[in-house]
């Protein structure tokens, strides 16, 4: 597996104020490494630096310092590199007066495609995003989901190795989200590398191989979901629990919740093994009806990471 997108100590500083200029660090020493064929979820609250990073990767803005390499090359503004990247910006406008295939023809010409080559790429791309049926319709008749799929199609026109998608599922209904998610998973399976910036944490968790969380321009954590979602907990559903048993269990460090008559839900602390917990239940004559291991969600990791970064900032 090789690194497709790599940033080293990437910084972006904006000067603000006309008279007394102040420096605003939009990105601080960003080190990012995205591998071939993975879906990388790039997460962070509004204004954390996600779009700044993406814009720098696309040469829409320029770094104050640091280095960017895409496909091992530093000349990221060159046609050769740009031709291998597909980009879907957040909330982009596509002209209503054009038909689906016309907008793709327009974008295809940006890659220097023409004639039969262009038409065959349009056919293939429309097929990938399942929009062949609507190719002759004007964009003004498209739903939001269809527009997003056409947006995705324009990013896929050159059959790029890398796809950078900014909020690809925001504002879509659950069905449209699922469709987009399936398309993205298929693209990953074809060997493409995807970088997805999103606020939709559940969506990202469902399809990402690795995630990075950025806060105030600093990458807080980065890794696979298995590496990052470490805060695990097991719950046990029990019955035949007497009132005095509850106190005995709590005395052993087991948290008792949702007590409904003789039934309850027990949260096993990380320090205690599941077998020990079951033995404790047996000893207290409590029947175990089910055991459910529970992993921390991406949302919980996000809240925990951003929360502690925010607290650390407050202390500093």
Partner 1 sequence: MTFKQSLLGTWAISVYTWREGMRKKTLIGFLLLSLLVILGSTFMTAFMTEASIGENLQASADTKIIKDICVSAISVFGILITIFISASVVPTEVENRVIYTILSKPVRRFQYLLGKFIGVQLIVIINLVLMTALFFVALLIKEGVMPTLLLWSALLTYFQFLIVSAFTFAISCLSSSPVMPTIGGLFIYITGNLTEYLKDVSNRAASGEGFIDSILANVAKWLYDILPNLRSFSLRNEILYLPANDPPTDVMIPNLIAYGLAYGLAGYLLAFWLFRRREL
Query: Which one of residues 18, 19, 97, 116 is an interface residue with partner 1 (CB under 8 A)?
Result: 97
> What minimum distance in Å lies between the beta carbon of 91 and partner 1?
7
Q: Which is nearer to partner 1, 138 or 278 (CB)?
A: 138
> What minimum distance in Å lies between the beta carbon of 251 and partner 1?
60
Contact 237, 265 (CB under 8 A): yes
Q: Find the Cα–Cα–Cα–Cα dihedral 300, 301, 302, 303, rounded to 10°.
A: 50
Binding footprint of partner 1, residue count (CB under 8 A)? 32
Stretch that binds partner 1, among 51-59, 129-137, 183-191, 297-305 (CB under 8 A): 51-59
Residue 59 found at the interface with partner 1 (CB under 8 A): yes
User: Taking the CB of residue 214, how many other CB atoms lie within 10 A of it?
Assistant: 27
Stretch that binds partner 1, among 149-157, 191-199, 209-217, 278-286 (CB under 8 A): 149-157
Residue 269 found at the interface with partner 1 (CB under 8 A): no
Residue 47 found at the interface with partner 1 (CB under 8 A): no
Query: Which one of residues 2, 65, 74, 79 is an interface residue with partner 1 (CB under 8 A)?
Result: 79
Query: Which one of residues 45, 66, 83, 145 is an interface residue with partner 1 (CB under 8 A)?
Result: 83
Tokens of residue 121, six digits: 């790429």
Query: Which one of residues 89, 218, 237, 252 is an interface residue with partner 1 (CB under 8 A)?
Result: 89
Tokens of residue 36, six digits: 């071939």
Interaction mask 103-142, partner 1, x per CB under 8 A: ---xx-xxxx-x----------------------------
Residue 215 found at the interface with partner 1 (CB under 8 A): no
Residue 171 found at the interface with partner 1 (CB under 8 A): no
Q: Are strands 232-239 and 210-215 parallel, antiparallel or unpaired?
A: unpaired
What sign has the CA pseudo-torsion 87, 102, 95, 151?
Answer: negative
Strand order in the sheet with 39-43: 85-88, 162-166, 193-197, 39-43, 210-215, 218-224
Which positions ≥6 away from 236 have C-beta within 8 Å?
A: 265, 266, 268, 274, 277, 278, 281, 288, 290, 291, 292
Q: Which is nearer to partner 1, 97 or 275 (CB)?
A: 97
Q: Which is nearer to partner 1, 80 or 258 (CB)?
A: 80
Stretch that binds partner 1, among 35-43, 133-141, 151-159, 250-258 (CB under 8 A): 151-159
Residue 275 found at the interface with partner 1 (CB under 8 A): no
Query: Which one of residues 5, 71, 85, 207 is an interface residue with partner 1 (CB under 8 A)?
Result: 85
Residue 193 found at the interface with partner 1 (CB under 8 A): no
Q: Which is nearer to partner 1, 72 or 91 (CB)?
A: 91
Q: Which is nearer to partner 1, 131 or 264 (CB)?
A: 131
For binding to partner 1 (CB under 8 A), which residues are involved? Answer: 55, 58-62, 79-80, 82-83, 85, 87, 89-95, 97, 106-107, 109-112, 114, 151, 154-155, 158, 164
């Amino acid at each position: 597996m090789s690194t497709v997108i790599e940033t080293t100590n990437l910084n972006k500083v904006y000067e603000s104020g006309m008279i007394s200029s102040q420096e605003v660090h939009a990105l601080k020493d960003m080190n990012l490494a995205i591998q071939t064929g993975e879906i990388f979820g790039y997460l962070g609250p509004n204004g954390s630096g996600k779009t700044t990073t993406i814009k720098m990767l696309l040469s829409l803005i320029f770094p104050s310092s640091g280095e960017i390499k895409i496909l091992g090359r530093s000349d990221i503004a060159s046609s050769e590199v740009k031709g291998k990247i597909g980009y879907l910006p957040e909330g982009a406008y596509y002209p209503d007066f054009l038909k689906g295939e016309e907008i793709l023809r327009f974008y295809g010409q940006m890659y220097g495609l023409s004639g039969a080559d262009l038409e065959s790429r349009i056919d293939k791309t429309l097929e990938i995003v399942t929009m062949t049926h609507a190719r002759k319709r004007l964009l003004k008749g498209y739903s939001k989901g269809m527009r997003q799929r056409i947006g995705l199609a324009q990013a896929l026109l050159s059959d790029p190795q890398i796809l950078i998608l900014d909020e690809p599922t925001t504002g879509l209904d659950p069905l449209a989200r699922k469709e987009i998610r399936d398309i993205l998973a298929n693209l990953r399976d074809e060997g493409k590398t995807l970088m997805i910036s999103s606020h939709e944490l559940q969506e990202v968790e469902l399809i990402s191989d690795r995630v990075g969380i950025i806060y105030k321009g600093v990458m807080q954590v980065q890794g696979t979901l298995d590496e990052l979602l470490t805060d695990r907990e097991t719950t046990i559903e029990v019955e035949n629990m007497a009132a005095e048993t509850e106190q005995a269990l709590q005395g052993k460090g087991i948290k008792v919740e949702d007590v409904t008559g003789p039934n309850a839900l027990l949260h096993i602390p990380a320090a205690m093994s599941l077998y020990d917990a079951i033995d404790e239940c047996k000893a207290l004559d409590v029947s175990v009806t089910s055991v459910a291991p529970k992993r921390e969600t991406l949302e919980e990791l996000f809240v925990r990471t951003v929360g502690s970064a925010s607290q650390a900032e407050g202390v500093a």
